[in-house]
Structure 1
Amino acid sequence: MSRRIDYGNLMHRAMRGLIQQVLEDVQENGLPGNHHFFITFDTMHPDVEIADWLSDRYPGEMTVVMQHWFENLDVTDEGFAVTLNFGDQPEPLYIPYDAIKTFVDPSVEFGLRFETQEDDVPEIVEDTPEDEAAEEEEPHDAEIVSLDSFRK
């Protein structure tokens, strides 16, 4: 059996850690300057908590904006809770980090995009001899995380 390093999963974990650090700073100090976030997430993720009317309106994915009005931001190691305003109706949300598809701060042209949502895969994957044979037949493309698509 051989080992291989799952760089894609490791990179996603590091990027989610960055999101957590940014949100923890906002929780403690508020949003600095013109910073604001567009966060797109999978509304069907089993740990997402949103109002039924929101999941009905956005089946699959939804983008929320944290900018002028938000409250009750509570950041944990697994995700964050926040209350946002939807048409003058405050709604509490809980979004786990592994449900996030994109995180963008357009004020500084910064963005992260998660190509896959496979956190259940271990960082180092053990291959059986059958897996190695399959790998030789099927070439694997490297997963490249590009920030250029979020630049103006």
Structure 2
Amino acid sequence: MKKAFHFYAVGILLLFLSACAVDDNTANLYKKSKPLEIDLILPKSTSLDKEQMIKIKLTQEGEKVEDAAAQLEIWKRDNHEDHEVIKAKSEGNGIYAAEKMFNDDGLYYIRAEVRTSDSHVMPTKQVIVGNPTEEELNSLQQKTEQLQGGHDHH
């Protein structure tokens, strides 16, 4: 009697497991997110004690993105704890803008944080303000060399 019970139990278990088979088309059932393209537009030259306009241009599959939340996070090299967050306002046509006044010479990082209904992207750029120190210039040069030489692995 126990053998028959085990036989039927195993049969029922196999029946349930076969109903859970992997469907190769499952991935097609989910919404596929298109990559969000961000162009962080910095002033050609950045001056001290003068309002600087920083813009973010957002596109997705060539279309302008109008429904994003965008902000800029700005900090001086080696001092991320003392960062400033500025909300970027939509100017229309996929352009978001914010103003920033730099009060000190040096190398700064500007990170655009952009959120849409299906994306969260945070590209970062460097900007030189006024007269940076030799150490800051060397840091910038080292990072540039690392980026250019980083793909030479054999």
TM-score, scaled to structure 2:
0.30
Which of the pair is proportionally richer in strand? Answer: 2
Which of the pair is proportionally richer in helix? Answer: 1
Which structure's relative contact order is higher, taking Cα pairs within 8 Å and 6+ residues apart? 1
